[in-house]
Amino acid sequence: MRKMIIALLILSILSCSFAVAEDLRDSASQRLTGYVDPNISLTAENIVYYDLNNEYGINLDVLDSSNSVSNLISPTATPLTHSGLKVGLLSVVSSVTNYKVVITHSPLVRQTSPEDLTTAYIDYELGVIYTTDGVNYSEEFCLSVQDANLPNQPGNLSKKIEIPLQVSSGVVMIQDAGIYFRLTNSSPVSVPGNYLSNITFSVESIT
């Protein structure tokens, strides 16, 4: 019996000695994209922020030096990834040509109530960083589209981002493009309250 145990032990040791280890030495991934009939698919999703009090939303108090938003003031020339707050993701897949994605946004508008009818708004800059080939990246910016109902704001419909989806043939794909937010130099926040902005994504034909 003892001999058998010893033999088993030896076998066990031998089996350990000859155990084959394996390593994953290299890997790659590839996304396949295809289409059945011409199509365009556009999806956008929020990235949600909470302040220190666990309140939903972005703290816009730029006078608070501890608030990182105070550092998120344009100029536009500064790369978005260094001074923008990523607030959303945009993905577009298109198998048709001569279309474009159009992004617009309203100013941040103070929400009123029957008890507090004070109106206020904050202009801000929205940006997007995207790539259609995975190599070359583009950055586009725009201020708020002006709302004619807001005081002292002349209309300016040119304030929008346009991303062309035209290639010679085939599928154009933008995967998880970052949507960035930052305040402008001329947009001090002076009236406390809750502010809301709508960002609109649409696909339009290039005429």
Residues that bind other proteins (CB under 8 A): 20-37, 39-41, 93-95, 169-171, 173
Report the nearest approach of other proteins to the CB of residue 82 (Å): 21
Report the nearest approach of other proteins to the CB of residue 31 (Å): 5
Dihedrals φ, ψ of 130, to 5°?
-145, 160
Q: Do residues 115 and 191 touch, judged by C-beta distance below 8 A?
A: no
- On the 0-12 / 13-18 / 19+ scale of CB atoms within 10 A, 34 is exposed
- 21 versus 157: smaller Cβ distance to other proteins: 21
Report the nearest approach of other proteins to the CB of residue 43 (Å): 10
- 170 versus 188: smaller Cβ distance to other proteins: 170
**Which stretches within 66-194 are classed as H helix?**
80-83
In angstroms, what CA-CA distances link 195 with 9, 61, 95, 112, 129?
A: 73, 12, 38, 9, 25
- Three-class DSSP labels, 171-192: CEEEEEEEEEEEECCCCCCCCC
- 30 versus 53: smaller Cβ distance to other proteins: 30
Report the nearest approach of other proteins to the CB of residue 135 (Å): 10
The CB-side HSE value for 138 (13 A sphere, CA atoms) comes to 11
Beta bridge partners of 90: 44, 177
Report the nearest approach of other proteins to the CB of residue 167 (Å): 9
Would residue 170 be called left, alpha or beta, if left means φ above 0 and alpha means ψ between -120 and 50 degrees? left
- 5 versus 28: smaller Cβ distance to other proteins: 28
- 169 versus 190: smaller Cβ distance to other proteins: 169
- 85 versus 203: smaller Cβ distance to other proteins: 203
Report the nearest approach of other proteins to the CB of residue 44 (Å): 15
